[in-house]
Structures are given as C-alpha cells and as structure tokens.
Structure 1
C-alpha cells in the first residue's frame, strides 16, 4: 500500500524535478497529483521517463483531503495561502519556500544531517526544506562536525541561475546569444548583466549590508546543524545554468587533518569525495547535474588558523538543493512516522 502525494508547483523547474525523482526512486505511490496555478490547469506533463503523463490540476480548487503528503514548490506567497490549508486537511506539507524555515514549530530537515528533528512536524503538519545553498553545505559539514566540532565557517557561494527559476535561466541564455550577435544585453531579472559576469547579490539587502540569501545560510545552518557555530557567507550569482558551488573554510575546536577529513567524507552519507591533486581531479557544476550526491573536492589544511580546513563543495541545486531533499524528507516521513507503505 502506497501514498497519495500531491506535487504543488508541478510545472516549474523544481516541481518537475520532484516528479522525476519520485519516479526515479520508485517512491511508493498509490496516486500522484500534479498541481499548479490556473495558468497551467489542464496541461499534460511527464511523470518520469516511462511515458506516463499527468494532467495538471488547479491549485485554487484542489482538495488535499485524503492525500498523505504535499510537496510544495510555489514560493512563499503561495505557500502562505495554501500550505496551512493542506495541513489542516490532514496532508503533511513539505515546503520548499523560505516561509516556514525559521518557525520554531516547523522542523527544517536535511535527512543526512538532522533526521531526528522530523518528529516535530506534528506541531503544524508542515516540514521545511532548506535553502539550496544551505542544504549542500550542511551535508558536507555534518560528518566533520561530529568528529572535531566546528567553531566557525566562512563560505563563498557560486550559485547557478536556475536558483532564480526559469526566468533566470532564460536571461543567461538570451544575454549570451545577444553578446555573440552584437545585440543589447539589458538585465531584466538580475540587477546586472549575468552573461560572462558574476553578481555578488542574491535576494534583497538587509540593514547590516548582507543579503537575505546570506542571512538564510547563516540562520539555517545554525538551526539544522548547531546554533553555536559561527557562520559568515558571501553569495554570488554566476553564469552557470545548473549546479551550485561553494568555497568553504572551516575552523574546528579539535585537531583534524586533511587526510582524516577525506576519510570521514569518503564514508559519509550523501557525499561523493572526488579529490585528486591533479588536473581535473575535482568536480565542477556541469559534472554534478542530474546527480543525487553532494560532491566534495580540494580538501586541504588551512595554516592561517588552528585546526582549519578548506573545501570545495558542488551539488545540483535543483536536486539536493530542492527536489531531491524534499523527496528524501517524504521517504523519511513515511519510514519513521506514517509507515503506510508495505
């Protein structure tokens, strides 16, 4: 016996990935519903690679009663309106927006990192999915923290345009084409030209000069991993279609060598260590697309601080940063709490 699952925002980048991953991982389903705004109602979309299709249902009129879980990928405004409605109908919501992440009554979950915290879902019947850049960071940090206790993290991100949705991907494509043919490259979605450029600005600015994206990485890492860890982040948009990268500098309480860290990471869940000190002995964004793993490379000791390491972390942001993590939460929820499937 399987679950009845609704994917809300099924026609967007993340929603489509959610459907693909549900199919790939053979999630135990009795029914899956593709749900989206009225603009997409009646459209037909693929479910996996088997040729099976789903007809899109209108979110405004969708009845969540009888559904076990709903995977939301519609942004904060839509989640604010419809997630509590789904939760009240008895359908557990796994929400990809930032709306509920810092709510003390809503668990913020990365299954490889803090699976035990999922029990808190009963308070509101809602579980939050972290920010894409946070998810891959904490997967890489958790096994090291367990061994040597992290004091401080300094991270610079190199975030792909797919993190900004289809409009961000379209802007990179159109600007790149325009540059080659000599047309104008006026920015529309981003604040500056993204093609052949980098932009140190993701989300809105806060009073202290940081951006909301940087703030998310700080507070979410603390909530998921350990509130005592000091975190500072600089988040940068780069002209890559899919795949976020992070240069991470970590200071530990206890001594840990690069060799020890490599051994720990090699055995850690969700991580693929690719770390050869030679040309091409590391992972870049184009190589991680479509993969489930969080890749770690360039592990080395930092001689400027006591017990310091530097890492390079890469992951498919549409997968581990969003859709995959949501499906993993659904698997964890079913396994530990709903226990409906055979």
Structure 2
C-alpha cells in the first residue's frame, strides 16, 4: 500500500527533480499529483523515467484532503498561503522554501544529521527543508562534530546559478552566448554580469552587512546541528549551471587529524570522500550533477589554529540541496510515523 503524494511547484527546477527522485528511488506511491500555479494548469510533465505523464493541477483549487504528504517547491509566498491549508487538511507538508525554517514549532531536518527532529512535525503538520548550501555543509559537519566537537566554522560558498531558478540558468546561458558574439549581456536576474564573473551577493542585504543567504547558513546550521557552534559565511554566485561548492574551515574542541577526519567521513551516511593529493584527485561541480552524495575532497590540517581542518565540499544543489533531502524526509516520515501496509 502506497502514499498519496502531491508535489507543489512541480513544473519548476526543484519540483521536476522531486518527481524524478521519487521515481528513481521507487518511493511507494499510490497516487501522485503534480500541482502548480494557474499558468501551468493542464500541461503535462513526466513522472521521472516511469513513462507516466502527469497533468498539472491548479494549486488555487487543489483539495489536500486525503493526501498523505505534500512536497512544496513553489517559493515562500506559495508556502505561506497554501502550506497551512494543506496541513490543516491532514496532509503533512515538507516545505523547501525558507518561510518555516526558523519557526520553533517546525522541525528543520536533514535525515543524515538530525532524524529525530522529525518527531516534532505534529505541532504544525509541517517539516522544513534547509537552504541548499546549508544542507550539504551540515552533512559534512555532523560526523566530524560527533568525533571532535566543532566550535567554529568559516565557510565560503561557490553557488551555481540553478539556485536562482530557471531564470538564473537562462541568464548564464544567454550572457555567455552574447559575449562570445561580441554583444553585451545585460543582467536581470543577477545584480551584475554572471557569465565569466563571480558575484559576492546572494539574496538581500541585512543591516550588519551580511546577506540573507549568509544569515540562513548561520541560523540553520545552529538549529540543525548545534546552537553553540559559531558560524560565519560568505556566499558567492559563480558561473556554474548546477552544483554548489564550499570551502570550509573548521575549528574543533578536541584534536583531530586529517587522516582521522578522512576515516570518519568515509563511514558517514550520504558522503563520498574523493581525496587524492594529485592532479584531478578531487570532485568539482560538473562531476556531482545527478548524484545523491555530498562529495568531500582536499581534507587537510590548518596549522594556523589549534585543532583546525580545511575541506572542500561539493553537491548537486537541486538534489541534496533541495529535492533529494525533501524525498529523504518523506521516506523518514513514512518509516517513523505514517507507516502503510
């Protein structure tokens, strides 16, 4: 016996990836609904490689009564309005937007890191999915924190344009093409030219000079992993279509060598260690696209601080950073709370 699943925002990058991953992982689906705004109503999309076509339903008129779970990938405004409606109808919401993440009554879950937090979903019938850059980082940090207790993290991100949606990907493509033929590509999605450039600005600026994306990494890491960890982040958009990368500097309470860190990470769930000290002995974004794993490379000791390590972390942001994590939450919810059959 399977679950009745609604994917909200099914026509967007993350929504389509959710459908792909549900099919790939053979999630026990009795019925699946592709739900989106009225603009997409009636169009047809694939349910992964299953060969099944889904006719898109209008979110404004969709009745969540009788549905087991709704995976939301439609943005904060849609989540703000429709997630409580779905939750009230008895459908458990797994929300990919930032709207509910810091709500004390909504668990913020990465299954490899804090699976027990999911038990708190009953307060509002909503579970939050973390920010894409946070998700892969905490997967890398958790086993190291258990081993030697992390006190401080300094992270610089190299985030792909797919994190800004289809418009970001289109802008990188069109600007690259325009520049090759001698035209000037004007920015619209991004604040400056993204082709052949990097932009140290993701989301809006806050009063302290940080951006909201950087604040999310700090606040979400504390909520998911440990409130005592000090975190500082610099988030940068780079001209890569898919795949976020992070250079992470970590300080620990106890001593941990690079070799021991490598051993710990190799045994950790959701992680693949590719760390050869030779040309090409590391993973880059183009190599992680389509994979489930969070890849760790360039593990080395930081001699400038006591008990310090550096590492390189790469993951498909549309997967572990969004759609995969949501599906993993759905799988965990099914195993622990909504058992069928």
Whether the TM-score (by the shorter chain) exceeds 0.5 is yes
Q: Give the Cα–Cα distance (whole angstroms) in 2 for the partners of residues 49 and 82 of structure 1.
A: 29
1:47 counterpart residue number: 47
RMSD: 0.4
1:179 counterpart residue number: 179
1:142 counterpart residue number: 142
2:292 counterpart residue number: 292
> Mapping of 1:123-142 within 5 angstroms?
123-142=123-142
- Alpha-carbon shift at residue 25 of structure 1 (Å): 0.2
1:211 counterpart residue number: 211
> Mapping of 1:229-240 within 5 angstroms?
229-240=229-240
Number of positions where the alignment pairs a residue of Structure 1 with one of Structure 2:
341
The answer to whether 1:280 aligns with 2:280 is yes
Q: Give the Cα–Cα distance (whole angstroms) in 2 for the partners of residues 46 and 29 of structure 1.
A: 15
1:116 counterpart residue number: 116
> Mapping of 1:208-287 within 5 angstroms?
208-287=208-287
Question: Over residues 289-317 of structure 1, what are the superposed CA-to-partner deviations in whole Å (9 max), with x where a residue is unaligned?
Answer: 00000000000000000000000000000
Q: Give the Cα–Cα distance (whole angstroms) in 2 for the partners of residues 30 and 106 of structure 1.
A: 27
Q: Give the Cα–Cα distance (whole angstroms) in 2 for the partners of residues 174 and 251 of structure 1.
A: 41
The answer to whether 1:323 aligns with 2:323 is yes
SS at match of 1:172: helix
1:32 counterpart residue number: 32
Q: Give the Cα–Cα distance (whole angstroms) in 1 for the partners of residues 143 and 313 of structure 2.
A: 14
- Alpha-carbon shift at residue 183 of structure 1 (Å): 1.2
Q: Give the Cα–Cα distance (whole angstroms) in 2 for the partners of residues 189 and 274 of structure 1.
A: 34
1:91 counterpart residue number: 91
Which structure 1 segments of 5+ residues have no match? none
Q: Give the Cα–Cα distance (whole angstroms) in 2 for the partners of residues 136 and 306 of structure 1.
A: 25
Which structure 2 segments of 5+ residues have no match? none
2:14 counterpart residue number: 14
- Alpha-carbon shift at residue 50 of structure 1 (Å): 2.6
- Alpha-carbon shift at residue 115 of structure 1 (Å): 0.1
Q: Give the Cα–Cα distance (whole angstroms) in 1 for the partners of residues 162 and 304 of structure 2.
A: 35
Q: Give the Cα–Cα distance (whole angstroms) in 1 for the partners of residues 191 and 300 of structure 2.
A: 35
SS at match of 1:112: coil
Q: Give the Cα–Cα distance (whole angstroms) in 2 for the partners of residues 82 and 253 of structure 1.
A: 44
Q: Give the Cα–Cα distance (whole angstroms) in 2 for the partners of residues 185 and 98 of structure 1.
A: 30
SS at match of 2:114: helix
- Alpha-carbon shift at residue 184 of structure 1 (Å): 1.8
Q: Give the Cα–Cα distance (whole angstroms) in 1 for the partners of residues 277 and 158 of structure 2.
A: 22
Q: Give the Cα–Cα distance (whole angstroms) in 1 for the partners of residues 243 and 256 of structure 2.
A: 29
Q: Give the Cα–Cα distance (whole angstroms) in 2 for the partners of residues 82 and 52 of structure 1.
A: 26
Q: Give the Cα–Cα distance (whole angstroms) in 1 for the partners of residues 102 and 189 of structure 2.
A: 27
Q: Give the Cα–Cα distance (whole angstroms) in 2 for the partners of residues 172 and 44 of structure 1.
A: 27
Q: Give the Cα–Cα distance (whole angstroms) in 2 for the partners of residues 214 and 198 of structure 1.
A: 16
- Alpha-carbon shift at residue 136 of structure 1 (Å): 0.1
Q: TM-score, normalised by structure 1?
A: 0.99
- Alpha-carbon shift at residue 182 of structure 1 (Å): 0.8
> Mapping of 1:162-201 within 5 angstroms?
162-201=162-201
Q: Give the Cα–Cα distance (whole angstroms) in 1 for the partners of residues 27 and 44 of structure 2.
A: 21
- Alpha-carbon shift at residue 154 of structure 1 (Å): 0.1
Structure 1 stretches of 4+ with a deviation exceeding 2 A read none
